Structure formats: structure tokens, C-alpha cells
Amino acid sequence: MAYKNENIFLPLVQKARKKKCLDKLLAGRGEWFVVQTDMFGDFPGRPTAVNDIYNFGIYPIYKNGDASIAQETEDAIVKICQQKYDDDAYLAAHALYYHISGSGPLFPMDKDRLQTAIRECIKRDEDKLKKCSKWVDTLHDTHSPRDLYHFLQLQNSIYLPLGVDLFEETRIEHEETNEIAEILQGRPVDEELLVEYPGGTIVSGVIDEIRENYDYIGIDEPLYRKREDYILHVHDVIQDGREEIGPGRLLALNSREKPKRIMDSNGNVIWGAPHNEYKGNRRRKGINLLKKIVEISMRYKMLMLVLLILIGVGVFYWGYSLVNQDTKADNMVVETNTEKSTTESSVETANTKAEEDLEKMARELDEHKKKVEEDKSIGTRTNGTVKVAPPKFEAPKDLKVRQADFKD
């Protein structure tokens, strides 16, 4: 980021070197004080803008081939410790911190020499430091330091991971490995994790580093508890919540602000309370499945092409078989209906013929009866024989009804 006053630092360092006042520039004494300025405004209540002095003044000189600036800077920090102000030790440590922190120093300095100088300054000015409240920036509660001496003890927790200890009598307790650390120790280094926080925010990322951190737990002594923080590098925000977390953020998973639960990429809980599957799981599983399909298709293009052709042929024949089965079923229905129609027609023909035969028989019986009744020779004697009338047959009156019963 470019600051509005960054162009002043190179000539300022050059001027301080010429006047042998580089120590006053790094400490911000008198006319050499530079107000910290950034996009949010000016901060006159903070120490001088040491970080900008390094980035826009000292480091460009070193990059241009003037290596002597490195030794001059180290000597200037030692010289700060020899000044007669009540905040010498704090400002010397402040100048050292901005050189060794961040992405790493551009040039090396003798940390043992600097550490010894700051320790001696703290011991010499202990009483003055305990009466000084300048630069103290802590929370306003009963446990926060109110003087610069105890504030330096608190600040020492950020120097210890960098290999610098501001106090000779520092004591360190080692924190027992917590549950999160135990679980993450057995996981693959490059495994993608899902982390859910109490406010509902769910992020994905991988463990970027295991960082040593120190918690200040002393009140009147430099006592610290050492712990190992598993730092998650956030890749994506899966679900927004109350926490303001974005891609690229570094999160300490086993710090004071612990997450609600930690999951693998499929949403299976590996630490924390069980939960109902959240909506993002289904979405993430779908995304992962699509990614795998794309990766496989790109890796095995010819195999995928053959597979797609086989699937297409299979679908075609499956559809064809269904259509063929429907056609056969329709033909069977037509044949069944035809056979049924033929059977009904045969029965109807038989019934019609039976009716005709019955009617014919009835007519013949009636004619026979009439012939017997009209025969005049009945009862006469011929050749000694009397002619007897044949039996009279008559068609039943309910012949039609019986015929109907027969048909049923």
C-alpha cells in the first residue's frame, strides 16, 4: 500500500545518517518524530513510523548497494538504549521488532547483541518504566498493565516466537496438547478442512503452518505459557455468519477464539459437537463431484468418449426394446379381441340355427296333427282290420322360453 508521505523517508534517512542521528530517527526524538499515517488517518499517539523508515528509507539504500546501512541501523538501536529517557527500552525494542517481524529482515543483525542491550536498559530503568504510562495500549480491565514495565512484559510474548527475549528472568510453562492439536497432528498436511464458528460462519482452507505462541500469564513477573497454534489459511467462505472472515485470512484454530466444530471436506465432524447436515454440505458435495468428473474426463478423454458412446448405444437399445414390447402387447390385444369376436359370432350362428330347427319341428308337428284330425278313414274296417288314429303330437307352448334357457 502506498502512503501519502512515503516520499519523505529516503531523504530523511539520508539526512539522519549525515548528522549521525539515525538513533534519534528510529526512536522518534524531537524533530525526528514522524507521525504514523495510513489510509485511515494520522496517529500521533503512537511511536514514530519505524516500519515506513525501514521500507521507504533504510531498505532502498541497502538494495542500491550501500551495505553499511545495516551495521549503522544495528548500532543506532543499541544507542537508543543508552539515551536518558524513561522509554528508551521500549523504543529500542520497537525498532528491533519491525526489522525482524513480517516476512523477514532484508539484512541480518546481531540479535544477541541487541537483546542484551535492551535487557540491560530494562534493568537499569525499571523504576522509571514502572512510573511511565506513555505508549501503553491495553484493555481497560483490572488485569491489563498500566505502566510501561509491565506492558513490556506483555509485549515480550510477541518477541519470543521471533527468537528474542526481553527479560533475563523469563519463565515459560508448556501448555498441554489440547484436543484440536491432537486431532490435527494425525491429519494430512494438505487436507482441506471446513471450519464452523459460533456465529454461523463456515470457511474452507488448509493448515498453513504450526506457529509457536506465548501467552503472558504473569502479573508481576515475565511468566508465559507456550502453545502451538495450527494456522488455517482460508480459501473460501462457504456460509456467511456474524464473523467477518474472508479468503486469504489466517486463523489460529486452537487459540482462545475456538471454532464451533472442524470438519473434513465432506462435512464429517472431526472435532466439536455433532450437527445436522447444513445446506452447504450438499452444495459442496455436488461441487466436489463435478470437479472429480471434470478431472477424470480431462485425464482420460478417449476413455470417456468410448464410455459415452457405449452409454448412448445402451440407451438406444433400451428405448427400442421398450417400444418393441409395447408393439407386441398391442398385437396381442388385437389378436385376443379378434378371437373373442370370432367366438361370439360362432355362438350367435349356432343359436340362430337352433331357433330355425325348433320352428321347423313345430310346423311339422302342427301339420301332422291337422292331417290326423282330417283323416276320415280312421275307425273303418278294411279286410278285418280297424284303422286306429296315430298319436297327436303338439309343440309345447313355452318352446321359445325353453329355447332361451338353452341359450343361457
Secondary structure (H, E, C), the chain:
CCCCCHHHHHHHHHHHHHCCCHHHHHHCCHHHCCCEEECCEEECCCCCCHHHHHHHHHHHHHHCCCCHHHHHHHHHHHHHCCCCCCCHHHHHHHHHHHHHCCCCCCCCCCHHHHHHHHHHHHHHCHHHHHHCCCCCCCCCCCCCCCCHHHHHHHHHHHHHHHCCCCCCCCEEEECCCCHHHHHHHCCCCCCCEEEECCCCCEEEEEEEEEEEEEEECCCCCCEEEEEEEEEEEEEEEEECCCCCCCCCCEEECCCCCCCCEEEECCCCEEEECCCCCCHHHHHHHHHHHHHHHHHHHHHCHHHHHHHHHHHHHHHHHHHHHHHHHHHHHHHHHHHHHHHHHHHHHHHHHHHHHHHHHHHHHHHHHHHHHHHHHCCCCCCCEECCEECCCCCCCCCCCCHHHHHHHHHC
Domain annotation covers residue 121: yes
Q: How confident is the model at residue 186 (pLDDT cuts 50, 70, 90)?
A: confident
Q: Specify the higher pLDDT residue, 355 or 168.
A: 168
Does 195 reside within a domain?
A: yes
List 211's β-bridge partners, or say none. 229
| Residues 289, 325 within the same domain | no
Mean pLDDT of 188-214: 90
Verify that 99 and 186 share a domain, yes or no.
Answer: no
Range of the domain at 66: 6-168
Tell whether the model's pLDDT for residue 382 goes beyond 80: no
Number of domains in the chain: 3
| Same domain, residue pair 158 and 188 | no
What is the tens place of the pLDDT at every residue in 225-239? 888 888 899 999 998
Q: How far apart are CA 232 and CA 310, in angstroms?
A: 45
Quick one: 345 and 391 in the same domain? yes
336 shares a domain with 192: no
Residue 395 and residue 312 share a domain: yes
Mean residue pLDDT of the chain comes to 80
Region of poorest pLDDT, from 30-34, 152-156, 283-287: 283-287
21 and 155 housed in the same domain:
yes
> Distance between alpha carbon 314 and the CA centroid of its chain, in Å?
37
Higher pLDDT, 311 or 319: 311
| Tens digits of residue pLDDT in 53-83 | 999 999 999 999 999 999 999 999 999 999 9
Angle at 139 between CA 134 and CA 140, to 5 degrees: 85
Between residues 394 and 303, the one the model is more confident about? 303
In a domain, 115, yes or no: yes
- 190 and 149 assigned to the same domain: no
CATH classification of the domain holding 133: 1.25.40.520
Domain boundary among 146, 168, 190: 168
Q: End of a domain among 133, 168, 203?
A: 168
- 83-87, 99-103, 254-258: the lowest-pLDDT one: 254-258
232: cell is: 488455517
Of residues 140 and 24, the one with the higher pLDDT is 24
Q: For residue 231, which of 249, 253, 246 has the smallest C-alpha distance?
A: 253
* Residue 380 pLDDT > 50: yes
pLDDT at 178 over 80: no
Residue 196 contacts residue 268 (beta carbons within 8 Å): no
In a domain, 271, yes or no: yes
Measured between alpha carbons, how far is 257 from 201 in angstroms, rounded to an integer?
Answer: 13
pLDDT at residue 305 greater than cutoff 80: no
Q: Are 142 and 43 found together in one domain? A: yes
Please report whether residue 65 resides in a domain: yes
Q: Is the model's pLDDT at 408 over the cut of 50?
A: no
Least confident of 31-35, 115-119, 156-160, 187-191: 187-191
Which of 299, 323, 342 is the last residue before a domain boundary? 299
Confirm whether 173 is domain-assigned. no
Residue 111 lies in a domain: yes
CA distances from 318 to 16, 197, 306, 321, 326 (A): 88, 51, 18, 5, 13
Is 126's pLDDT higher than 70? yes
Query: Within this chain, do residues 23 and 119 fall inside the same structural domain, yes or no?
Result: yes
Do 217 and 262 lie in one domain? The reply is yes
In a domain, 1, yes or no: no
> Are 48 and 141 in the same domain?
yes
